[in-house]
Structures are given as structure tokens and as C-alpha cells.
Structure 1
């Protein structure tokens, strides 16, 4: 091969190589353009950041300070959840600088030097500093500057969203949250109360983070300020306005404490539409520290059914009037002992001669034993259903916001009149039922709503605890209007005349009956007392009740008070507490 020919071949190879390099460079350019453009848009859609932003985020360390969950307010817009506390966040100590002021830092952070430095040494990511109970430590403003000066860039103070106040209260209707897991993506969920029943609406669209920039060795870039990132959605988190009057709720909680009420409930309803204005359950619970196994604390006693005792005599009287087995002025004779079924009146020597209204006023067992024998089981059950008992009455909607069964009141019990295996044809069973014993079960909510029903001449309302659900910008997502509770199929409301007779009897309860101690209260009141006998651990106890309304001239509130598991020989504490609650309502009106 000639030298000239060999040179030609070499030049051609060089040209091919150059052409290949140009093609490769061209491909790389197109690829880079695609990454910066198309791929960048793709990342922005799904992660919210371009490649340039992602590279910055890789040099940031941050922590969530707000889950983005929806919040609750009372009827006046006063917050029920969502307080903010300034709490310290500890960042990894790459150079061991924390040890220089370990003792002073530990004192400010309410811990020991050894525990603090050990925890700090193990840090791989930012940590919200918490106390021994697991709650974020709150830093007093006077200590903030000193803390930051002792550990510059190792500690930052951030506004942390604390959902509940760390103290016991009687707002079990609000509920609590539980942690689903260790991963950040597993946000807390509602475990009870409104937190659970409204969970699909409360979960939100993302957390709020606070972060700071660091170098490759994870040392802070002190010239770069802290960065807060939150979902850019003007509609979330949602805001739930309840019907609760928070000052009233808290004042009644204090009343239950000063009266040493250990078990029971107080319910206050708006007499006009049955809105729940206050609902207090004892014992109190702390929504931050809940033991799911200890239901006695976080269970809402206002929605749990217990034996009603003599307040059920209102139902028996309604059944007797509706079925025509008694006339209002018919005379009964009480001698103390009834003579059958081992029954006797609470007044040993009897009440003498009295009519139906008088029998209700003094809560005579003999009068209602006679009515129990005259009535059949269907008549008693029908009257109970017509008055909103033996069924759930809380506000509900079958298809609100796509939810198949929307019931804000969590685990409301139905109660009962007769047990499933009870022989209701036995007159002895009906006599015990007529005085509110045997299998009869009523919730405090139902008892208060029974009063509202009588004030509305027999129309049963559905107690409402949520009024409105709004977007973050204030616009309305859902209105939950007050409405009547539907009657069970085949049932009818009681007559206006029956409701009128029962209201007059409740006035007599206070003027000269079992509620005479309420005569000198701020308002003129009406109501009905009750004492249900039961056994607890083999020992006799009483469930004490008082239900009623006020002021009589223009009723504004219906109230039910239940004192559970009281001593069998104790005076009716429920009557005392009812009077105090009514005085409180009169003062605040």
C-alpha cells in the first residue's frame, strides 16, 4: 500500500471519530435540554421542585411543625384546637460544640446534661425537644435569647402547632388523635369524637416544614435564614365551627369539679333548636395523653345509656295519656307499700290521694305502678320512641360530602325500654319499666332532648354539634342546618295536650315536689328528678338525675345532669348541680 493511500485512510478515520464526537455531543445537548425542561416540569408536578431547587433541598435539614390538619372552633369562632408554642429544635452537632455549655443548656431544656449530650451526639436529623411526657418543651421568652446564644446554629426556636392544651377536660366529644406509624407520611388520625367522625374532611393536604441550609459536612450556613415551606392551597386546612359555647363549657367543667362529681355528665341544649351548647363528661380526659384501653376516661358519658329511674315517669305518663288509660284528674291512692311485686313508694307512709300531675311532682311510685299495669309493652315503647328514646337522635345526614353516613356524635348509644329477652307481657316487668328501672336505658343527651321535645309540643329535634365547615379562606364548604329527627316508621308524635300536661307537672316538681330546693333560683325552673338503683361490684349504688328547663316563662335552655355511681344513701347531687348550671346560664344571658 502506498504512503499516500495510508495517509488518506488515517484522515478518513479521524474524520469519522470527529463526526462521532459531534453526534455524541449533540445527543448529550438534547438530553440535557430534555432533563432541564421536560423532566424538570415532571418533577415540579410531582414533587413541587425543579432540579435546581432539588439540589438546594439536598443541602437542607428540616422538621415538620404543623400537620396541616383541619381545626375546630366554638360557636363564636374561638379556637378549640390549634394553639402555637415556641419550642426548641436541635440540629446535629457535627463539631461537638454543645458540650461547651452542656450544663446551662440542660437546665434551660429541663433535662440532665448527660441525657442531653447523649441524645445530641446520636442525632442524625433535626429533633423537636420534648419533655418526659413527650410534649414539646415550651421556652419562656425571657430564656429564648440566652438559649440561642449558648448554642448558635445548633438550636432554633420554631412555632410548633400544638393541637390540644395539655390538661384534663370534659370535652370527650372532641376526641383525640393516634399515631399510625414511625414514617413521616403516616400522619395522625382521629381515634374518637369529632376527630374520628370528621376524619375524611380533616386530614388536609400536607405538612408545614421549617428547614435550614447546611454545607457538605452538615455545618449550618449561618448567612442563610430559616426556610418555611407549606402547601400552597388556599382552601386547606378546613375549619369546623361547632355549636359549643366554650366559656360555658369550661365554667360547667369547673362546677363539676367544685361539686366533686367523679362520674357522670352534664348536657346543655338550646331549647329553640336542640343545638349542643355544652357537653361535659366525667371523669375528665387529657387528649394529649390517652390510654386507648382506659375507656372510662375518654368515653363520652353524655352519649352512654344508663338506667334513668324516675325521669322515665315522663314517658310513662305520656304513654298513659296518649293511649287513654288515664285521665289527668283521676285520683290514685298511695299507702307506701304497693302490695305487689315487692314494690313500695319511696315515701314510707305514702302520699295519700293524688292525681297524675301530683304523682309526677312528688315522683310517687304507686301511681306509676298502676299505670304500668294498665299499659301494654307496645304503648310504652311507642311513647318512648315518640319522645326520642330507644334510638339515636344526634344530627346525621345520609350522604353529606360523599360520606355514606355522616354522624358527628361519635358512638352515640340507642338506649332501650325492654331487653331483648325480657317477657314484656309480664305485668311485674311493666311496673318496673314504668318507674324507669329493669331494662330501661337512657343517655343524658336523650334526656335533655326529651325536654326540648316537650317544649316543642312533641316534635323531636336532632341535637347538632357541628354548625359549619369552611375553607381556609373563610368560604363555606358545608352548612349543617338544624332539623327535626325523623320518627321511626309507624310512629307518631305525642299530642300537644300531652306535652302541655307534662310541662305543668314539671313546674309542680319545683313549686312543691321533689325539686323544691330549686324554688329560689335566679330563674323560675321546671324539671324532673330521678334516682335509679343499681349494683356495682355487688354493692348498691344510685344513678342520680335531674332534667329540666328554664326560664319557665320563656324557655331558653334544656339541661340534663347525671351523677353516676353515687352512694345509695346520698342526697340527690344532680338537683344541686342542675340549679347551679341554670344560675350560670342566667348570669351569662
Structure 2
């Protein structure tokens, strides 16, 4: 009985061994068939199959959505050509190419405007294919002459491929557009031809501007990759041709259509440069709906080389600053609305007020003035006397009703899973006073009424203030984006114009019209007389705010206004920051240049 049991166990083991052998052979046969399907006629041994581990690739296009101006002109994303270098350091053929005395290598280096030493160093950097960057960390863009000459070097491991370049110029004043920052991760890509391809790529996400506020919509469905099959040790397998893997979705990536006119944007940037503007901002709004047509921040930035730790980088168009006399618009509106001052009443300016160290910019004063004349001449004495009749709360309510001391940019809540969709990244709210300032503090109230002390206004708010007056006191919410489209052209999301109402209500149409007339008087009889030679009839308000920069006395110069007066088309705010006191009013001069440019291009 014992012997029979042993015999049965032995027969069972033999049977199982035969079954497992058949299964292993069957699996091997299936693997060989799959290899033949991919590469017909190419027979591989089991040893050869064991080294086919993965693919290495280079990114041709991140798949990120694009941003255009209002006419469809691309602001991001232009197709360029670059050279992809395929490292083959273990292959005998390429070892010979990598010899610094090789004639072909010298010729290739000459075409790429480098030397053989630098070319070899970058070529053999890592074991994955990569674009030739010439040490700039960005694919080197080829010109037509280089393209023609580089075709013959493909067999040497240097191939020409298209690459999507995100930004088309280096330095720009389009801080509202923002920039991208790298987020190194292991990226997994699938397609219907192969299993998952894993490869470390420097993924980039929005770090500022629209790139940041719209990042969830711009991310896309994944990159387009150029890949090569490599062994477990990273050696490229030459028998496999390079292949391109791209996501297939007719809806993505999305396209963001902004309200910006790229011609106006570029024109205003050029004006800022030619005027020698060092710090500040220029904002151009369409008076019909407060859409941003141009927004320039100075100093300019390079979106390809932004250092996030550099605190000087910012969009000054949405940052608040001491407003100076442009805030007298608010004070005048509060006085007119509350009837604290009669338009027929006369004030006397002798140059010095005698309290709080306040004086007028005109040394010996303006003499007798009405409020309208005091507005045109930007007389501090007239507005100090006016402020004494107002309460701080009246100034705050009027500022709020005019769209100041709060964020006013377009926004929408709960859009496609995003809690808030905003157009303006890091928009400052500004303020009238700080919480430590008491309502009864007359000195603080007087300083506030002339736009000093703790008062802050952004250029965006200042330009929008003009639009508000042109719309009978109704505050629009400035837009930077008008719609988002799918890749096939269909509209995904419309962003219609909207208002930004205040709990304080709005000022009356009569007050709005009065202030607009007074702004015209600034140009005909006041501090803006140099604008009488502008191509359009324009109107506005100047301002000079006293500030300190690192212990030194400096001025912020402002001019805000609109044109043409007969049929207003554009509202413009100019802020020139930290100017040495004295000299001409650069902000007024830049305002005239911008208005002349808009008149010529209309």
C-alpha cells in the first residue's frame, strides 16, 4: 500500500512538470509572435527580449492650452524646430562620431554655432534623448539655413523635430500673462500601441498671472513625446525607430481668448521703453465695458527666466500705490453727493494751510478758487477745507461706490470644480485708511482727502474709475478673458461682462457728469495743459504722491483720463513710481503718448 502511494505521487509530479513545461513553451511562442508583429522578420532570442525594458523620450509639446489676444493672435505657443540628440555612447559607430577630430562632428558643431567639446558634453549628458540647448535649458531654435544643413546628420543621432515654444520673446511687460514653474515628476503616458511609458519630465504649471489663475483649465491631456526603446542599462536599441506618442482628444488642449489687443499692448510697451520709464504701470481699458486692451508693468520680465524668490517681480498694474491728487476725484464726489460744498462757494489759497504741515504745490498759492477750479489746479488747500466738512466714513463709502478699496476684477465662483475663477492674479484691494486711524482724526482725514497718508489705489482701479464715471457711476468688473474654447473651436465657457456693485450704492449720474467736465477743465485750464496738443481732445486728472523709498524722498506720478472727449473710447491710467522730486511730470507725458498712439491706430 505504501509503495503504491509513492508511485501515484511520482506520476502526479511528472504530469505537473509536463503541464508547466508546455505552458512555458507556449508563453515563449506568444512573446516571439508579438515581437514579429512589431518588427516583421526580426527574430529575437530570449536574452535579447530580456533587455527590452522601457522607452526614453523627449517632450515635443507639453499639451498645455494656449492663450490668444482678442483677435485670435497667439500670445503663447509657436511651433519651432530644434535638434534632438540621441545618446549612443556604448555604440561603436557613435563612439567614432564622438571623436573630437571627426570631420562630421566639427561640421555639425559649426552649424549649431558651438565647438565639438561643448557639443559632446551636452550630447552625452544622461542616457535619454534631449534637445540641444547650448546650455540655456531651452531648446535652441533653428533657422531655415540650419534646418537645411542638419538633415544629413540623422544617422549620427542628431535629428530635427518640431517643438512647441511657450513664449515668443524674452522681456515683456505682460505680467498679467504670468509664467510657468517646473514641477519635476515621473510622467506616465499610455497609448494604444504599447504598455505604459514612464519617464521623468520637468512638468510645468502656472506660477503667476493667467497661467496660474487658469491653470486647471490650461493643463491639457498630456504631452506629445518622442521616444526611443532602450535597454535596462539605458542603451538605445538602434533597430527600433523613434516614435511619437500624442494624446488623442478633439476637445483638448483648450484655448483662452483674452480681451487684450496685442498691437495696443506692444505699442504701449514701446512707449514705456522710449520714455525711459523705470518703475510703474500703464493700463488701457475699453470705455464701453472696462475690458483690458493693454496692461504694461515696468520693469519688464523674462517669462522664461523668472526667479520666484525675487520680490521685485510683480504686476504693478494690479498692485496698489499711494494715489496722490487723483484721489481728489473721490473727495470731490463725496462733497458733491453730500452737498458739503456749494459749487458757487469760494476758497482762498495762500500757499500754506497752517495745519498738519500742509501746503499747496504752488508756492504763493492760487488765490480765490471755487471747487471746480481747485480740482483743475489740484489745489491742496481747497481740498483740505473740503475734507474738514466730510466724515472719514463718507470718503470710504464714496471710494467703495466708485470701485476703490476693494478688488474689482472679473471673477466667477464654482466653475468646473474650481472654487473661484479670477482674471487678475494677486489683485490688491487698496484702501482708504488703516484700522488704526480714528474717524475723528482730522489730520488723517485731510491727508486722506488729497490721496496721501494710508490711501492706496491700483492703476487698474484708477482706469476703471474713469469708466465708472463714463457710465453714470455704475462700476464694471474689468475683464482680461472673454471666453475659453475647445480645441475644435466650440465654446466651452463664455465670460460675459459684468458689474461690480457696491453695498454703498453708486454716485449719481449728475455727479459723474460734473466730474467729467472738471476733468476736461484740467486739460484746458489746469495741471494738464500740455495735453492740449494731443491728437484727440482728452480729459483727466493728474496726481503727485509723496513717498519714501529706502529712506529717500520720492514721488509717485499719476495721470488718469479718457479720450476722445466727444466719443470716449479708451480710459488710461499711468503710474510712474519712485521718481526723484522735481522735473517734468513724466506720467502726463506718457499719457499723451499713449493717447496719440491710440488715436493713430484707430
RMSD over aligned Cα atoms: 2.9
| CA distance, structure 2, for counterparts of residue 181 and residue 215 of structure 1 | 23
Counterparts in 2 of 1:549 and 1:34: CA distance versus 1, 3 Å = same
Counterparts in 2 of 1:588 and 1:215: CA distance versus 1, 3 Å = same
Deviations along 1:280-325, one digit per CA (max 9) or x if unpaired, are: 00000000001112231x3000111111000000000001111120
User: 2:181 — aligned with what?
Assistant: 178
Question: Is residue 84 of structure 2 the alignment partner of residue 89 of structure 1?
Answer: yes
User: 1:505 — aligned with what?
Assistant: 518
User: 1:357 — aligned with what?
Assistant: 372
User: 1:75 — aligned with what?
Assistant: 70
Deviations along 1:412-450, one digit per CA (max 9) or x if unpaired, are: 001111122123311111111111111111000000000
SS in 2 for 1:187: strand
User: 2:541 — aligned with what?
Assistant: 528
Counterparts in 2 of 1:147 and 1:219: CA distance versus 1, 3 Å = farther
Question: Is residue 163 of structure 2 the alignment partner of residue 160 of structure 1?
Answer: yes
8 A Cα contact 1:98 1:151, kept in partner: no
Give 1:113 shift: 1.8
Counterparts in 2 of 1:56 and 1:361: CA distance versus 1, 3 Å = farther
Among 312, 317, 320, which residue is 2:332 paired with? 317
Counterparts in 2 of 1:79 and 1:121: CA distance versus 1, 3 Å = closer
By percentage of residues, which structure has more strand? 2
Deviations along 1:120-162, one digit per CA (max 9) or x if unpaired, are: 3454111211123322112222123433424624101111111
User: 1:136 — aligned with what?
Assistant: 139
Deviations along 1:527-586, one digit per CA (max 9) or x if unpaired, are: 000000111122211100000001111111100000001110121110011011111111
Aligned length: 561
Among 41, 60, 65, which residue is 1:65 paired with? 60
Among 198, 215, 219, which residue is 1:203 paired with? 219
| CA distance, structure 1, for counterparts of residue 373 and residue 488 of structure 2 | 57
Counterparts in 2 of 1:341 and 1:29: CA distance versus 1, 3 Å = same
Counterparts in 2 of 1:441 and 1:12: CA distance versus 1, 3 Å = closer
8 A Cα contact 1:91 1:154, kept in partner: yes
| CA distance, structure 1, for counterparts of residue 163 and residue 262 of structure 2 | 23
Among 217, 220, 225, which residue is 2:238 paired with? 220
Counterparts in 2 of 1:291 and 1:424: CA distance versus 1, 3 Å = same
Among 194, 208, 215, which residue is 2:210 paired with? 194
Among 396, 412, 417, which residue is 2:411 paired with? 396
Counterparts in 2 of 1:112 and 1:506: CA distance versus 1, 3 Å = same
Among 569, 577, 585, which residue is 2:590 paired with? 577
SS in 2 for 1:190: strand
8 A Cα contact 1:357 1:501, kept in partner: no
User: 1:336 — aligned with what?
Assistant: 351
Among 255, 269, 274, which residue is 2:290 paired with? 274
Among 120, 123, 127, which residue is 1:120 paired with? 123
Counterparts in 2 of 1:372 and 1:152: CA distance versus 1, 3 Å = same
Moved more, 466-475 or 115-124: 115-124
8 A Cα contact 1:521 1:579, kept in partner: yes
| CA distance, structure 2, for counterparts of residue 34 and residue 147 of structure 1 | 41
SS in 1 for 2:483: strand
8 A Cα contact 2:474 2:501, kept in partner: no
Question: Is residue 269 of structure 2 the alignment partner of residue 253 of structure 1?
Answer: yes
Counterparts in 2 of 1:579 and 1:218: CA distance versus 1, 3 Å = same
Question: Is residue 509 of structure 2 the alignment partner of residue 496 of structure 1?
Answer: yes
| CA distance, structure 2, for counterparts of residue 89 and residue 565 of structure 1 | 47
Counterparts in 2 of 1:28 and 1:134: CA distance versus 1, 3 Å = closer
Give 1:102 shift: 3.0
User: 1:98 — aligned with what?
Assistant: 98
Q: What's the TM-score, normalizing by structure 2? A: 0.87
SS in 2 for 1:338: coil
Among 467, 485, 507, which residue is 1:470 paired with? 485
| CA distance, structure 1, for counterparts of residue 53 and residue 587 of structure 2 | 63
Deviations along 1:478-530, one digit per CA (max 9) or x if unpaired, are: 1111100131x3x1100111111100100100111111111121111010000
Gaps of 5+ in 2: 33-48, 187-199
Moved more, 169-178 or 333-342: 333-342
Give 1:330 shift: 1.6
8 A Cα contact 2:53 2:230, kept in partner: no
8 A Cα contact 2:51 2:231, kept in partner: no
SS in 1 for 2:476: coil
SS in 2 for 1:406: strand
Gaps of 5+ in 1: 1-8, 37-53
Counterparts in 2 of 1:153 and 1:72: CA distance versus 1, 3 Å = same
Give 1:329 shift: 2.0
Counterparts in 2 of 1:564 and 1:451: CA distance versus 1, 3 Å = same
Give 1:399 shift: 1.7
User: 1:5 — aligned with what?
Assistant: none
| CA distance, structure 1, for counterparts of residue 53 and residue 369 of structure 2 | 86
User: 1:4 — aligned with what?
Assistant: none
SS in 2 for 1:398: strand
Give 1:211 shift: 3.1
Counterparts in 2 of 1:153 and 1:328: CA distance versus 1, 3 Å = same
Counterparts in 2 of 1:149 and 1:480: CA distance versus 1, 3 Å = same
Q: What's the TM-score, normalizing by structure 1? A: 0.89
Counterparts in 2 of 1:126 and 1:325: CA distance versus 1, 3 Å = same
Counterparts in 2 of 1:15 and 1:433: CA distance versus 1, 3 Å = closer
Question: Is residue 583 of structure 2 the alignment partner of residue 588 of structure 1?
Answer: no
